[in-house]
Amino acid sequence: MRKLIAFLIKFSVVILFILLELLSFGLIVNNNGYQKSVFFSSSNTVLASLYEISNSVVEFFYLRQANNGLAYENTRLNNEIIELKNQLNSLKPLMGDSTNPVYVQPENEISYIYAKVIHNSTNKMLNYITLNKGSRDGIRVDMGVVNEEGVVGIVSKVTEKFSVVIPVLNPKLQINSKFKKNNYSGPIVWEGKDYRFAKLNDIARHVKFSLGDSLITSGYTYSFPEGILIGTVDDFIIQESDAYYNIRVKLAVNFRTLSHVRVINYLNYEEQRKLEQSVSSQ
C-alpha cells in the first residue's frame, strides 16, 4: 500500500496530465460533430481490423483441423476402394475373361495407414521425417510413405509409438522410377541442394522423352506399388561425349508443407521378402 501511495505521489503530475488530456479529448469529440464522426469511424475501422485478425486466427486452426480430418477420411476411403477392387477381382473366375467390363485389376493387396508428420527437415544434407505412428499401429521398416501429391520416402526406424522416414530429400535413399509413357527406368536421388528437385540417373542417350514427362514408381520393390508419381522432367542436358543424360526432376511433393502422409501396408510383404532372401542367399 505504501509503495502504491508513493508511486501515485511521485507520478501525480503525469497522471493528472493524462486525465486532463482524456477529459479534453472527450469534450472535443462530444461537442463537435465532425471530430465525433471521425473518431467513431476510426474506432470502427480498428475494431473491424481486430475482428478480421481474430477470425483469421480461428479460421486457420479450424481449417487445419478440417484438413487433418479430410486426410484421415481420404485414407479410409482409399482403403475401402482397394477392398472393393479386391472383392471384384476375386469374382473374376465367375465372370469369364478379363474383357468383362466389371473386371478390375488387382491392387497387389495393399492398404494405407494414416499418420501425422510431427517433425520434418528440408534444409539439411540428411533430412528425416518423424511420424506419430509406430509398430503398434502396424508400421514396420521398409514401408513406403506417400501423400496425395506423390512419393514421400521409406520408413527406416520404428518404435512402438513413432517411426522415422528417410524422405526423397536424403541422398541415402534412391527411388526406383520409370517414365510413365515408355517404361524406361532409372534411380532418382537427391543431390542435397534444392528441396524441390532431384536427379534421375542411368537414362541412356537413345531414350526419348520430353520436358514435363511424368516419372512414377516402377513397382520393382515391395515398398511402393507401380504407378505412384515421383516427379516430372524439369530440365536435361547431354554432351556429345556422354552416354547418359543429366536429368533434373521436379519433385511432386512439396516437403515444406508436409503435414500428413499415408504409409503403404503391402500385405504380402513377408512372403515376398522371404522368397527374395532365399534366392539371394544361394
The residue assigned the cell 512414377 is 216
What is the identity of the amino acid at 6?
A
Domain boundaries, the chain: 18-107, 112-280
CA distance 217 to 33: 72
Quickly name the fold that domain 112-280 has. Thrombin, subunit H (2.40.10)
Best mean pLDDT range from 47-61, 107-121, 127-141: 127-141
Q: Which amino acid is it at 56?
A: S
Share of the chain above pLDDT 90, in %: 51
Query: pTM of the full predicted structure?
Result: 0.64
pLDDT, one tens digit per residue, over 180-192 is: 999 999 999 999 9
pLDDT of residue 103: 35
Contact between residue 125 and residue 171 where contact means Cβ atoms under 8 Å apart: yes
In tens, the pLDDT along 119-156 reads: 999 999 999 999 999 999 999 999 999 999 999 999 99
Q: What gap in Å lies between CA 8 and CA 31, rounded to an integer?
A: 31
Strand 144-146 with 174-179, pairing: unpaired
pLDDT band at residue 280, thresholds of 50, 70 and 90?
confident
Cell numbers given for 6: 508513493
> What are the tens digits of pLDDT across the range 167-219?
999 999 999 999 999 999 999 999 999 999 999 999 999 999 999 999 999 98
Please state at what angle helix 12-31 crosses helix 33-90, rounded to 10 degrees. Answer: 90
Which stretches of 127-268 are assigned E, i.e. beta strand?
129-131, 144-146, 151-158, 163-167, 174-179, 185-189, 197-200, 214-217, 229-237, 246-251, 260-266
Contact 180, 156 (CB under 8 A): no
Q: Please tell me the distance from the alpha carbon of residue 53 to that of residue 60, in angstroms, as a whole number.
A: 11
Cell of 28: 472535443
Q: What percent of the chain has pLDDT over 70?
A: 66
- Output 168-173 pairs: Cβ under 8 A, ≥24 positions apart: 168/198, 168/230, 168/251, 168/253, 168/255, 169/122, 169/127, 169/195, 169/255, 170/126, 170/127, 170/128, 171/125, 171/126, 172/126
